[in-house]
Every structure is written in C-alpha cells, then in structure tokens.
Chain A
C-alpha cells in the first residue's frame, strides 16, 4: 500500500521578511491545477506497487494489472463524454492530442479538400499546427468571433468549399466563452468536414456529449482537473481515419505508440471521476459572485459572456488606465496568483490575440486579468482576491496619467 503521511499535502506557505506566513490564493487554475491527494495515492500505487506495463496477450500479473487499469480508465473517460471506450486514446496531454488530430487528419483523408478552418481565438497550439500546415500546401480560414467570443455557426457555411477539417474549441482559455459546439458539429457532419474540438479547458467541468455535439475528434487534458501533468486523451470517432504522427509499436490503436504512462492515465481518470457536477455548480456560483464584485471596480469590463455560456471557473476583467504586468506583479507580492493578457507579460511582447479578436482595444488587452477558480476555491479566497485587486488597481491608477486625465474630465 502506498504510504501517505498526514499533512504531506498542505501547501508550503511562503514567509515574508518578518517571518509571518503569507496568505496565498491561487486563481490560475486555467494554467494548471494542484493534484488531488486522492489521485496522488493512486498514482503512487501504480508507480511503486503496480509498476507493470500492459504487454501482449499473456502477461504476468503486473502486466495484467496495468492493462486492466488502463482499460478501466478508458471507460471512465469515455463515459464522461458519452463515447465508447474504443474511441478514446491516451496521449501526453492536450497539445499532443490536438497534433494527432489535426496533423493526423491532414496527412490522411486525401479525398477531402485542402482547407483548414479554425476560429481566431483558438489556443496558440492549435493556431500553430494549422500555420505549420499552410507551409505544406494547406489553406487556412480563421473565423471571426463576436464581442463575446462566439463563432457564428452560419459563418462556417460560407467557408465549407474545399474544407477538410474544422477545429473549434469548446471553452476559450482566456475569456471562457463556450461555443455552440452542437450547431458547429451539425454543419460539419452534414457537409462531410471533419470536426475537431479542443475541450482542454472544459473537460469534466462542462457537459460534453460527443454524440449530440457531433464531434469527430476531441482533445482532453488531465492537469487542468487536478490530475497529473503529462497525460491527456483524444476522442477519435469510430471510422475516422488518422495518420499517426509517431511511429512505433501499435499501442493506442497505432496512434500513440510507446510505453503508456500507466500511473498518469490512472490518475487522470480518477481526477475526472472526482470532479463532479456539484463542483461545477459551486464554481459557477462563486464565479458569478467574483464577476459581480470585480465589476464594482470603476472602469472595469468583463471579457467574455455572462451566464450559462461561460466556462464555470473563468473570470476575465480589464481595468482601464492600468497595465496588466504591473497589476500581476503587485498581486503576486500580496500572494494572489492570477494571469494576464498583457503584452508585457508575454515574453514575446504580444498582446492577447483573444482580446484583440473580440474587438477589445489594445488598452483592454494589456490590462485583461484572468482569475480561474478550482473546485477548492472558497468564498474567503474570493473576498481576499477582490479586495487585493481593488487595492492594486487603485494604487496604480493613482500614478497613471491616463486615469488622472479621465477622472479630471469627469
């Protein structure tokens, strides 16, 4: 049995110069999450005690255990999205899943056209895969989104000619917009275009049904739902042909060869099981409270939609007259960990492509501040977050020439 000592999971608290423990509120769960202790137990079990890997038909006990565990995990993941287990393959994470899906579809299905369709607000990794393919004879079409980040499904119809695949995400990583995947899937299915959906942000948090959504390929990730890093899954609808991007043994239907990350896979499924509808509901309520209290800051603006069409754990607000990196540095000093779409915060000095695509000004993109909740986020955490954000925005505005001029005018 794994040896789990009590207390080994407590977050080590940072200490300030006077030796006082500093409060840390982590609200960057769209970047990554802390592992669930119950998942760690299982991961440890499959690393220390049941460390085999599934082999051929006749294996030792160790190998059988591993094989069974993986198949069980496959069932769990499949159930979460209403797929059958044979349609789920395990990968090293969301990026690999999307690479297998898009590159794999591009290198197969030669009877289809050469156009790849995405929205303008896809995750950078998706946009890069597609960009890469444009150097190999493919054309790309990037669909506009509206002020809330929604793709107009009817805009797809105008771009179907010669299309091979469309890749439209379920939930946006920055502003939490939940696309009408079913409407997009309907159009794709009717026109014979493959439909890949990046569900890395929404998997296990929002309801996903690959049948009603008419998805052909769907990317999922473990580390955003309190599972281990370095593991994810790809749904490949029965009958969809993909060319593998890695060559090796025939594991995972030949699409993801190599020794499987057994402990990671088992941990991933456990994490998916442990994230419940009640968790999502609680996050949704807390999210709306946080949005309400942050919008009470003058000259603030919510990025992304309100209500049911917003990812349950995402909040993104822009504060006028102040710059995002400075906000983040101050918040960090106060133990509040969030994220920003600021150009100065990105190492490439480029402002958020998402805020720009929804028609936000450069000023709005520089100060866009994302706070993303986890199933463990409490009301107290959010009270602290709100107070801290208010304070920091006020401090920076006090020295901002833009704020002074605007408030003098009023």
Chain B
C-alpha cells in the first residue's frame, strides 16, 4: 500500500512494527488480573497499562494483556513485549531487555526507543507489585521509589524522582505521604495525582499527596 509505506517510512517503522501496530497481540483488559501496572503519562502521550496473571507455584506469567494510549511504536512494543514474556517465569522474563524488544521488532527509530523502555518498565513494576502482594518485598522507601519511577513528569518526560518533583517520602504502616513540587490544583498536580494513584492500584496503601510549589 503505497500511502502507508510512505508514512511508515517517514517514521522509520519496520514491517514488524507495522504488523504489531495493525494487529496488536494480547491487547485488551483482564478482569481477574493478579496485578496491574500503569506507566507513562497522558501528558506525554505515551502510556500503557498491563494486566498479569501468575501461576503462583512457579511464579510463571500465565497470561498478560495490555492497553495503550500512545503512538504506533507504543502499541507495537507493548504487543511484542507481551508476546516475548508470556509463559515465562519472572526470573526468565526479567532477562528480556528493552533492546531485545526493539531488536525483535526489527529495530525502532531512535526517537521511539523510549517506547520499548516504557513497556519493559511496566513489566518490572508489575513484578514488583506481585512480589509486594505476596509479602516478599517490604513496602519501604526503595520500593515506593521503584513504583514511582514509572510516573513521569509530563514536561520533561522523565520520571518524577529524576525530575526532582518528588521532594519527600514518609511511610507509616501502609500510609504513604508524598511531598510533590507542583502548584496545587494545577494541570500538573491533577495529572500527577491520577498517575500516582494508578501506579499503586491494587496495593493495600493509603496515599496522601501534598503539593507545594
């Protein structure tokens, strides 16, 4: 198809990327997921939500699904990532790198590599939440930080810790208080509130977000 070749070429998308974009695998919602993870942000135009079901005896990914708000590369990398890790144990799946995802897709344009990073990040966050739910990791500051690495500063497109938006963390039992640098009631604060709540979805935590400029 001449026209589509033009646009795909313009972006430097491989045939495989286009195939996964047009016919995404494992796409949709999973009602009975063991864990979910949401990484990226609406503001960046790049967001995915993952649903995973595990075989608890072997820590094996029995099923994985994704939903996407993002560009063709976002859809294709998520689709490929789910294909590559489905059926694998957590230990095996952790060996799949974002480069593996990109290479299996026949390569990604440089400016779209972050999509592969995002899908890999989504997976890691899901594993972390699974382990927390099974009581294998403590919900301490390092854990909270790892979860928050999936929440992006919409302006700079980097996670809110690197962007120095996260100014302080206090954890008492299951109550997590976060101090965030953003004007209260601003577009940024609103977007961060939604993203942070989504990041912790499914975990037994009580979030208190405090915005200050």
CA distance in complex: A343, B152 (Å): 15
Interface size on B, residues (CB 8 A): 36
Q: Is the CB of B1 within 8 A of A16?
A: yes
The answer to whether the Cβ of B129 comes within 8 Å of any Cβ in the partner chain is no
CA distance in complex: A12, B187 (Å): 47
Q: Map CB proximity to B onto A390-410 as digits: 1 under 8 Å, 0 otherwise.
A: 000000000111101000000
CA distance in complex: A366, B27 (Å): 22
Q: Map CB proximity to B onto A346-385 as digits: 1 under 8 Å, 0 otherwise.
A: 0101010000000001110010000000000000000000
Chain B minimum-CB-distance residue to A13? B2
CA distance in complex: A329, B7 (Å): 7
Quick one: given A342-B45, A361-B187, are A329 and B21 in contact (CB under 8 Å)? yes
Option from B8, B11, B24, B187 in Cβ contact (under 8 Å) with A399: B24
Within the complex, the shortest CB–CB distance from A357 to chain B, in Å, comes to 14
Within the complex, the shortest CB–CB distance from B129 to chain A, in Å, comes to 16
Chain B minimum-CB-distance residue to A398? B28
The answer to whether the Cβ of B89 comes within 8 Å of any Cβ in the partner chain is no
Option from B8, B22, B69, B111 in Cβ contact (under 8 Å) with A349: B111
CA distance in complex: A361, B67 (Å): 22
Which residues on the B side are within 8 Å of A404 (C-beta)? 29, 67
Which residues on the B side are within 8 Å of A366 (C-beta)? 45
CA distance in complex: A16, B3 (Å): 10
CA distance in complex: A352, B146 (Å): 32
Chain A: interface size category = 35 or more
- Interface secondary structure of A, over-half rule: loop
Q: Is the CB of A17 within 8 A of B1?
A: yes
Q: Map CB proximity to A onto B9-46 as digits: 1 under 8 Å, 0 otherwise.
A: 00100000000011010011100000000100011111
Quick one: given A399-B28, A400-B69, A401-B69, are A323 and B3 in contact (CB under 8 Å)? no
The answer to whether the Cβ of A48 comes within 8 Å of any Cβ in the partner chain is no
CA distance in complex: A351, B43 (Å): 10
Q: Is the CB of A333 within 8 A of B45?
A: no
Number of A-B contacts (CB under 8 A): 98
Which residues on the B side are within 8 Å of A361 (C-beta)? 187
Option from B44, B49, B73 in Cβ contact (under 8 Å) with A401: B49
CA distance in complex: A15, B21 (Å): 21
CA distance in complex: A14, B1 (Å): 6
Q: Is the CB of A24 within 8 A of B3?
A: yes
CA distance in complex: A164, B74 (Å): 47
Quick one: given A333-B4, A335-B3, are A344 and B69 in contact (CB under 8 Å)? no
The answer to whether the Cβ of A195 comes within 8 Å of any Cβ in the partner chain is no
Within the complex, the shortest CB–CB distance from B187 to chain A, in Å, comes to 7
Q: Report A302-346 residues with CB < 8 Å from chain B CB.
A: 321-326, 328-329, 332-333, 335, 337, 342-345
Q: Is the CB of A22 within 8 A of B3?
A: yes
Option from A326, A335, A363 in Cβ contact (under 8 Å) with B72: A326
Residues of B whose CB lies within 8 Å of any CB of A are: 1-4, 6-8, 11, 21-22, 24, 27-29, 38, 42-49, 67-75, 111, 154, 157, 187
The 13 listed contacts between A and B (C-beta, < 8 Å) are A12-B2, A22-B3, A321-B69, A323-B70, A324-B45, A333-B1, A335-B3, A342-B71, A344-B74, A351-B45, A363-B42, A401-B47, A401-B48
